[in-house]
Amino acid sequence: MLLLLGLCLALPLCAGSLEEAGTWGDTSEQVGLRVPRQVRLLQRLKTKPLMTEFSVKSTIISRYAFTTVSCRMLNRASKDQEVTFQMQIPAAAFITNFTMLIGNQVYQGEITERDEKPGGQVKEKRNKTAEDNGEKGTEMFRASVVLPSKDKAAFFLSYEELLQRRLGKYEHVVSVRPQQLVGRLTVEVNVLERSGIAELEVLRLQNSRRKGSGSGEDDSGPPPSTVIHHNETFAHVVFKPSVVQQAKIAQNGILGDFIVRYDVSREQSIGDIQVLNGYFVHYFAPRDLPPLPKNVVFVLDSSASMVGAKLRQTKDALFTILHDLRPQDHFNIIGFSNRIKVWKDHLVSVTPNNVRDGKVYIHHMSPSGGTDINGALQTGIALLHDSVAPHDLEDRSVSLIVFLTDGKPTVGETHTPKILNNTREAARGRVCIFTVGIGDDVDFRLLEKLSLENCGFTRHVHEDEDAGAQLIGFYDEIRTPLLSDIRVDYPPDAVEQVTRTLFPNYFNGSEIIVAGKLADRAKDRLHVEVTASNSKKFVVLKKDVPVEPRWGGSGGPGGPGPQGGGQEDPNPLERLWSYLTLKELQSSWLQSDQEQERDRLRRKAQALAVAGRFLTPFTSMKLRPAPQAHTPEATYGLAGMSAAMGPEMVMQSLQGTHLQPGPALKKPYDPRIKISKTSADGDPHFVVDFPRSRLTVCFNIDGQPGDILRLVSDHADSGVTVNGELIGAPAPPHGHKKQRTYFHAITILVNKPQRSYLEITPSRVIVDGGDRQVLPCNQSTVVGSRGLEVSVSANANVTVTVQGTVAFVILFHLYKKPAPYQRNHLGFYIANGQGLSGNCHGLLGQFLNQEARLTEEAAGLSKNPTNPPVPEAGGRSKAILMVKGHQVPVVWKQRKIYNGEEQVDCWFAGNNAANLIDGEYKDYLAAHPFDSETTFGPGAPRGL
């Protein structure tokens, strides 16, 4: 099979990647001119590669987002043809993995070091790629492969990013542009914030600026089919449009950006410090401070290229911005082309007359001439220096330049390194430069470096109908400085490898983030000191912050263990520290002019990126065929799911859930749950696992329709009770039974820390903990609070977690066209019984703290009684089971569990489990669904 791979990305993938062959969309055969046009169109549509699935899953833990994109495609043509997978990713994100499945062959991405020489070239290519192929603030990833006729391909892309707080909100953006209508399209976003989630919202789809994008009928609020559930610290958002809903938004499959926006609750003035397994992150975002006065010079490009909509919309935006200046601010305006035109020879105060005159000056600007970027910057910086010092403007004010241009330097100094050096020497760290690039012809790399080297940031504003609004949004980010000269200090002997701790300014609605390692994990407190200036005084904040981890670490006691292949769950705070450190190394490398220093920074960044599997300008990704010993799904589970599944496992640990993820995590499209053998499912068939004895025992209970069975009874101790109600159905023909029974409802009573009732049926889940919630079983959602969490996986299962130490999984068994003897029913599985007491009882609960063994005298047993016996000729192996002091005759059987899709070898106890269970079948009948009988035995008192 011929593999042609072209990976166009903002960052390099492989130094010698092949060119893409041909186009990726239309690969139909040429037909004669006599064939009618409609037939040719039909033939082309028939042979176009079909995307059968497009799904994106993001897990955000403390502002750090892990995202995995899955795409499956089918070549329906009668010949080999090229298929292409492409995805827009945020410009600030790092790719961590790419895996392809072509037929039965797996190609895994491997992060390796990149030679120094290509490093500088890649940066140029990155900007070109972002402008030509991507959208605002994004970069394009593209992979093409020649796929054999009738064969399938799957692509899996993982990337990570730290969400930036802007205007008081974090924004997570997922590009949904599969380029065609997709049968199964899903976007799932999970947010876990220990501090608490505030103001969660899902925006309407933000349409592409490219031709062909559309909008839905409802242009406000979340997109159609979006389901949102959240509690104090956890949010679950699912966007799952049908093909019809997709077509209403955009026939060509370019739906737009799916955006989840939220903020976190904030209490401490010193900020929020989070610790996990030796790493810490400090979030600092004070509020309710008086704003600092600002001295701002607006430097506006008025060259000939700004003619038309660019200059008109920029003027309109500046009119609005001038009105927004505060009375204590000072400002000036510079227009530049091949000449530098200054409005006033000094900064002026904000008065109605000055604002009016400034608007008039801007209004009369007309486009002409070239672009003298160097001269305009030098003039603006000099204005600030000359005006601030002699006139004794506020000592604690902030000096800013807002620089707007649409082009490249064409007049005066045009050499980029010289412009950067001149600006840096003139500003001397006392003036922050914020740059805005307008349109597609701007030298964005120059603007980026100007801001990086002068304590500012840059934004790219596209030339379209909302350019003015984009400019106002940019200014809103810097309109309210609250602090200047911020310094964050920790005791030197307490921390190490800490990221940046000095910050020139803090603007309202943003956030300062510092990450590092704890030098001594044994210490239970960390001294933090923040010093800064605000408008009235010098601010000093001090506090000893507890550092005992309030999160369970991955691999810790009761937490998730290593993944397949020996990989451990990723620590989100460690990943965040690595991300921040790499960004700072990359920024320092861009700013440095000394070759020796650049080489040191490059080598340091390379080592960290390779160790953490980050694709950066200093690393490359090469695709290698995986060993054939692995199946495609298993190989992907080992190599491709670290970013997708790891955070999910960490989330379970953070919430106190001690579920051990099973093979289902390696096959993310298989809804089966393979967590526990201890269960009651089917007719019903009961299975009890004794892991320490390496024994599995099973039995049947022939109940009657309407019976309510006590499955778990621990009301007096842990406060948990589980009952199951039976329904009946005719027996299959030619069977020995007269009727079958199934679980139609599982009811769970939780009495601690507060009383909650759950009723689960094949169609709905009712959660009543004071506020009654009815959750449909055909939609995925997560709800819960105060130690109780209910997670519904659509048409698959419900997971109920109590206090992080008890977990039950209820499977849905649904039939599209049921036979007369089939009923939609439930299966009940005990995933984690750690929090149940030694007094726990019930048909399943009584075995959770017991041991079992086979007697060595049993006929037909080998010397090792736990090994499966060899059946006697024409017969069945028999044995005696010792459990709870009882001797129970058992026979060796093979039973089907998990909806009949998994086989379990077990020792079967017949006769309605006589001698195996305490008492008799009738002793386990509950009076009503929420019966919480606490004492076992006939005539025992009942009650809630």
pLDDT at 464: 62
pLDDT, mean over the chain: 78
Tens-digit pLDDT profile for residues 69-120 = 999 999 988 888 889 999 999 989 999 999 999 888 889 888 998 875 543 3
Distance CA 323, CA 196 (A): 36
Domain annotation covers residue 86: yes
157 touches 87 (CB < 8 A):
yes
Distance, CA of 264 to CA of 735 (rounded, Å): 60
Mark whether 458 and 312 lie in a shared domain: yes
Weakest mean pLDDT among 119-123, 418-422, 462-466, 654-658: 654-658
Residue with tokens 């730290």: 162
Q: How far apart are CA 266 and CA 284, in angstroms?
A: 10
Section 745-763 average pLDDT: 90
For 55, residues 6+ apart whose C-beta sits below 8 A from its C-beta are: 69, 70, 71, 184, 185, 186, 187, 188
* Distances 864 to 7, 473, 859 between C-alpha atoms, Å: 57, 74, 13
Name the nearest CA neighbour of 804 among 753, 748, 765, 845: 753
Task: Decide which of 424, 451, 479 is a domain's last residue.
Answer: 479
Given a cut of 80, is residue 28 above it in pLDDT? no
Distance, first Cα to last Cα, the chain: 67
User: Is residue 195 located within the same domain as residue 314?
Assistant: no
Q: Return the CA Rg of the chain.
A: 33
Same domain for 310 and 373: yes
Lowest mean pLDDT among 18-32, 416-430, 598-612, 842-856: 18-32
Q: Bigger pLDDT: 556 or 820?
A: 820
739 or 225, higher pLDDT:
225
Q: What's the average model confidence in pLDDT over 679-707?
A: 87
Per-residue pLDDT, averaged over 319-325, amounts to 88
Residue 360 lies in a domain: yes
Same domain, 301 and 449: yes
| Polymer length in residues for the chain | 944
Q: What is the DSSP string of 862-903?
A: -SSTTSPPPPPTTS--EEEEEETTEEEEEEEEEEEETTTTEE
Residue 559 in this model has a pLDDT that exceeds 80:
no
Which of 493, 522, 546 is where one domain is finished? 546
pLDDT at 116: 58
Q: How many domains does the chain have?
A: 4
For 169-189, how does the pLDDT look when each residue is reduced to its tens digit (9 = 90+)?
999 999 999 989 998 999 999
Average pLDDT for 466-484: 84
Which tokens in the block code for residue 548?
Answer: 């005992």
The answer to the question of residue 590 being in a domain is no
**163 and 304 assigned to the same domain:** no
Residue 758 sits in which domain range? 679-856+877-924
Average the pLDDT over each of 564-573, 739-748, 884-893 and give the range with the smallest value: 564-573
In this structure, are 514 and 462 located in the same domain? no
Residue 287 has pLDDT above 70, yes or no: yes
List helix spans (H) across 550-594. Answer: 572-591
Amino acid at 495: V
Q: What is the pLDDT of residues 769-807, one digit of tens each?
A: 777 888 888 888 888 777 788 888 888 889 998 988 899
Report if residue 238 sits inside a domain.
yes
C-alpha 226/C-alpha 205 separation (Å) is 11
Q: What is the pLDDT of residue 639?
A: 34
Whether the predicted pLDDT of 560 surpasses 60: no
Residue 129 pLDDT class (50, 70, 90 cuts): very low
**347 located within any domain:** yes
Q: Where residue 935 falls among pLDDT bands split at 50, 70, 90?
A: low
Task: Say whether pLDDT at 748 is over 70.
Answer: yes
Whether 843 and 885 map to the same domain: the answer is yes
Mark whether 751 and 898 lie in a shared domain: yes
Q: Which residues pair with 750 in a beta bridge?
A: 720, 756
Q: Whole-angstrom Cα distance, residue 843 to residue 54? A: 43
Q: Work out the pLDDT band at 553, boundaries 50, 70, 90.
A: very low
Q: Is the pLDDT of residue 339 over 50?
A: yes
Lowest-pLDDT range of 244-253, 283-292, 861-870: 861-870
CA dist 719 → 479, 788, 839, 840, 843 (Å): 54, 12, 11, 10, 17
> Does 350 lie in the same domain as 248?
no
Q: Is the dihedral of CA 674, 677, 678, 680 positive or negative?
A: positive
Question: What is the pLDDT at residue 257?
Answer: 93
* Distance between CA atoms of residues 727 and 6, nearest Å: 58
- Confidence band, pLDDT 50/70/90 cuts, at residue 634: very low
CA distances, 260 to each of 174, 510, 609, 648 (Å): 9, 17, 28, 18
Find the CATH number of the domain harbouring 455. 3.40.50.410
Q: Which has more confidence, 944 or 696? A: 696
DSSP state letter for 924: G
- Are the beta carbons of 807 and 678 closer than 8 angstroms? no
pLDDT of residue 395: 59
3-state SS assignment for residue 923: helix
Q: Which of 734, 733, 796, 787 is nearest to 760 (CA)?
A: 796
pLDDT band (50, 70, 90) for residue 352: very high
Q: What is the pLDDT of residue 646?
A: 33
Taking the mean position of all CA atoms in its chain, how far away is CA 168?
Answer: 20
Q: Tell me how far apart the alpha carbons of residues 795 and 778 are, in angstroms, rounded to a whole number.
A: 5
Give bridge partners of residue 885 from the DSSP assignment: none
pLDDT value at 132 more than 50: no
The CA–CA distances, whole Å, from 265 to 168, 170, 193, 261, 394 equal: 11, 12, 9, 14, 33
Are 686 and 827 in a shared domain? Answer: yes
Q: What is the pLDDT of residues 503-536, one digit of tens each?
A: 988 999 999 999 999 987 777 788 899 998 876 6
Closest CA to 325 of 361, 287, 352, 360: 352
Backbone CA torsion sign across 476, 479, 483, 489: positive
* Residue 41 parent element (H or E): helix 37-47
Q: What is the pTM of this model?
A: 0.62
- φ and ψ of 579, to 5 deg: -60, -50
Q: Is the predicted pLDDT of residue 1 greater than 80, yes or no? A: no
In a domain, 372, yes or no: yes
- Is residue 617 a part of any domain in this protein? no
Q: Are residues 184 and 282 in the same domain?
A: no
For residue 9, is pLDDT > 60? no
What is the pLDDT, as a whole number, of residue 628? 55
Residue 642 has pLDDT above 80, yes or no: no
Q: Is 725 helix (H, G, I), strand (E, B) or coil?
A: strand
**What are the structure tokens assigned to 385, written together?**
């220096």
CATH of residue 497: 2.60.40
> Is the pLDDT assigned to residue 749 strictly greater than 70?
yes
Q: Indicate if 761 and 899 belong to the same structural domain.
A: yes
| Type of residue numbered 318 | L
- DSSP strand pairing (619-625 vs 525-533): unpaired
Ranked by mean pLDDT, which of 194-203, 618-627, 645-654 comes out on top? 194-203
Is 59 a domain residue?
Answer: yes
Cβ neighbours of residue 223 under 8 Å, at least 6 residues apart?
A: 202, 204, 205, 216, 239, 241, 249, 255, 258
SS3 for 941?
coil
